[in-house]
Amino acid sequence: MSFRRFWSILKARNLEFFRDRSAFGWNFLFPFLIVAGFGIIFGGKTYTEYKIGVFPHSPVSVRVDRINIPDQFRKARYLKFIGIPTATEGINKLKHHKIDFLLKIGNPPYAYWVSDASPKGYVVEQMFKASLISPELDTQAQKKEIQGSSIRYIDWLFPGILAMNMMFSALWGVGYVVVRYRKNGALKRLKVTPLNAFEYLTAQAISRIFLLMFTLLVVWTGCDLIFKFTVEGSYLDLFVVFLLGSLSLTALGLILASRGTSEEFTTGILNFISWPMMFLSEVWFSLEGAPQWVQKAAQIFPLTHMLKAVRRIMHDGVGLMDVGVEITILSLMTLTFLVIGASLFSWNK
Amino acid sequence: MTALIEVKNLVKKFGKVAAVNDISFSIEPGICFGLLGPNGAGKTTTIEVIEDVIPPTSGKILYKGQPRTASFRDEVGIQFQDTALLNFLTIRETLETFQGLYRNTAGIEELAELCQLSEFLDQYNDKISGGQRRRFLLALALINQPQMLFLDEPSTGLDPQARRNLWNLIHNIKTEGKTLILTTHYMEEAQYLCDDIAIMDYGQIIARGTPQDLIKRYGQQVTVILPKNHFQPSAQQFSLPYREVKDTVEIMTDNVNACLDQLLSYNIDLSEISVRSPNLETVFLNLTGRKLRE
């Protein structure tokens, strides 16, 4: 290993990336836009919201205090009331799952419509029925509230978006770029110099990890100024887990970079890996309640372990020792990916 | 004198096809060695095996009498016919990057002056003309002050001025005592630059020697050219072989004087006669045939 050769390639790769203004800008803009978009859409609320169509009512925003519905139902949280002029229109919307529940405004007995195919409709129906019982009779359960601050959806989503951006950047920035260099002959030119595969791949990986961490810091700082994220644990611990995650994802990118000669085929493979990883690693939604085999399959992805550790540090305030399992798995994955990537690597087409 | 490169019984197969079929040759230090051949003859494969870009199927390559070691890559310079480089780097930065890959390196300014790149050093490496790019690739191949330089079709795609300019540049490099290994399609280029030539076809070396030797051995006949309307004798009357090419007649002869005597005996007007001496192209076509190769 010659540090001089490694440094030359690392410097050249960094210059190449930072001067490619469009790719550089997009790396920062993409996660920021997604976080900002979700922040605006959900405005800090949970995304689970039940839509109740009420008729007859003009299709303008509904003043809940001015419609005739049960008081307990009116006060229930997470319900959004939508005005609908006629029953026919309401039933049509219900059929197409545009609303979860349709209610005729007026005096009791109330009339309502619900779709048997809608789980959310069933929940609203139970809520509606419960609201018809007098509160004085409801003495079977005692409410206990959880202590501490609640986790906003945006707080839960944010690390997922950052990790997803890291995944795409690591896989495409290493896997795709090296395949392109193999195809256009740039690797062949480097092969006839004293540079060896280990020096070249290390430079590629370090360059990408530096970029990933730099992006992480910039995007985190930018988003935090707007959304004021709550971090219960240590920022240093978060940084360590993100660093290990980026190492692991970059090493996975090196496997993809090791042999491919067709950009089209590599794009297919990258999509084949990145899309399931994005959906099964709980970037967007929790896998709680999903079939066991799906939950087990998700364990093969480094993103799953990185996100699990990051969310525990961020939301539960745990330390590195508490996420030791995830750290060990990520370290083993990194090592395995590096060994496979380095042993498969070829300079030639 | 010990050969700088020795190729012994080299075979390179791609599947069942032998691109290079048991060839042996050696290259003396300080000369320009040319490897010529039609498309698909096996010359690029041969060069790439010597450069250690691809492994041989069998056979040996010796460098300074020994199998090539890691230092081989430090001591040779290679210019591929065309090559992609790292994007978004200037010529200076690309040269500096390659400087960092070798132990003994030439100065950037010195190389730029040698390869006439001084004015373009701060331009991006993909924003230069074809001629500038060839000179830049040559500079890259010289960055490690190599003892031996591989040039794969260095002037392909250049206009006549740029080509002549590159030849002069290569000639100057040759005078510094470096060993050059050149593949080319341009016979004029080979004749101008090479001291020793091997002609390959179907994976084998079919002729070897200096340009003068090859011309003497394989291109003896001189071609006498006349306008067709000046050439009246019938084929039965005229004893020398000839052929019609567009508006002219080409007569092939070993003895120009005898040919001219015969033409004068038929009172043929020689005012528009031209005589073409054999050259390396004649040799190449005589040896490899005139049929189009795909």
Domains and CATH numbers, chain A: 3-43+152-344 (no CATH), 50-137 (3.40.190)
Of B53, B88, B97, the CB nearest to A8: B97
The whole-number pLDDT of residue A306 equals 95
Average pLDDT over residues B112-128: 91
A8 has a chain B CB within 8 A of its CB: yes
Give the pLDDT band (50/70/90) at residue A10. Answer: very high
A188 has a chain B CB within 8 A of its CB: yes
**pLDDT beyond 90 at B234:** no
pTM score: 0.77
A195 has a chain B CB within 8 A of its CB: yes
List chain A residues with CB under 8 Å of B89: 12, 15-16
A12 has a chain B CB within 8 A of its CB: yes
Distance from CA of B140 to the nearest CA of A (A): 10
Give which of A168, A343, A169 is closest to A259, Cα–Cα: A343
- Assigned CATH for B5-214: 3.40.50.300
Q: What is the pLDDT of residues B252-272, one digit of tens each?
A: 888 888 888 888 888 888 888
Q: Is the dihedral of CA B227, B229, B234, B235 positive or negative?
A: positive
Q: Is the dihedral of CA A62, A68, A69, A75 positive or negative?
A: positive
A75 has a chain B CB within 8 A of its CB: no
The whole-number pLDDT of residue A45 equals 55
Distance from CA of A243 to the nearest CA of B (A): 27
Instruction: List residues bridging with B205 in a β-sheet.
Output: B200
Average pLDDT over residues A89-102: 87
Interchain pair B97, A11: CB under 8 A: yes
**pLDDT beyond 60 at B128:** yes
Give the pLDDT band (50/70/90) at residue B40. Answer: confident
* Percent of chain B predicted with pLDDT > 70: 96
Residue A178 vs residues A174, A263, A270, B33, B95: alpha-carbon distances, Å: 6, 10, 13, 35, 21
Rounded CA-CA distance B284/B218 in Å is: 9
A191 has a chain B CB within 8 A of its CB: yes
**pLDDT beyond 80 at A136:** no
Q: What is the pLDDT of residues A312-340, one digit of tens each?
A: 999 888 999 999 999 999 999 999 998 99
Nearest CA in chain A to B92: A12
- Judged on CB neighbours under 10 Å (0-12, 13-18, 19+), A305 is buried
Residue B204 structure tokens: 């084998």
Residue A250 structure tokens: 């970059």
Average pLDDT, chain B: 88
Give the pLDDT band (50/70/90) at residue A6. Answer: very high
A15 has a chain B CB within 8 A of its CB: yes
Residue A52 structure tokens: 């109740």
Does a cis peptide bond (omega within 30 degrees of 0) precede residue B227? Answer: no
A261 has a chain B CB within 8 A of its CB: no
Nearest CA in chain B to A2: B101
Q: What is the ipTM of this complex?
A: 0.82
The whole-number pLDDT of residue A318 equals 92
The whole-number pLDDT of residue A284 equals 83
Nearest CA in chain B to A178: B86
B53 has a chain A CB within 8 A of its CB: yes
* Percent of chain B predicted with pLDDT > 90: 47
Give the pLDDT band (50/70/90) at residue B200. Answer: very high
Of A4, A20, A185, the CB nearest to B80: A185
The whole-number pLDDT of residue B52 equals 92
Better-scored residue on pLDDT, A28 or B58: B58
Interchain pair B101, A191: CB under 8 A: no
Of B53, B102, B144, the CB nearest to A188: B53
In chain B, domain spans: 5-214, 221-277
Distance from CA of A23 to the nearest CA of B (A): 12
Element containing residue B36 per DSSP (H, E): strand B32-36
Of B54, B76, B100, the CB nearest to A7: B100
Tell me how many residue pairs between chain A and chain B have CB atoms under 8 A apart: 71
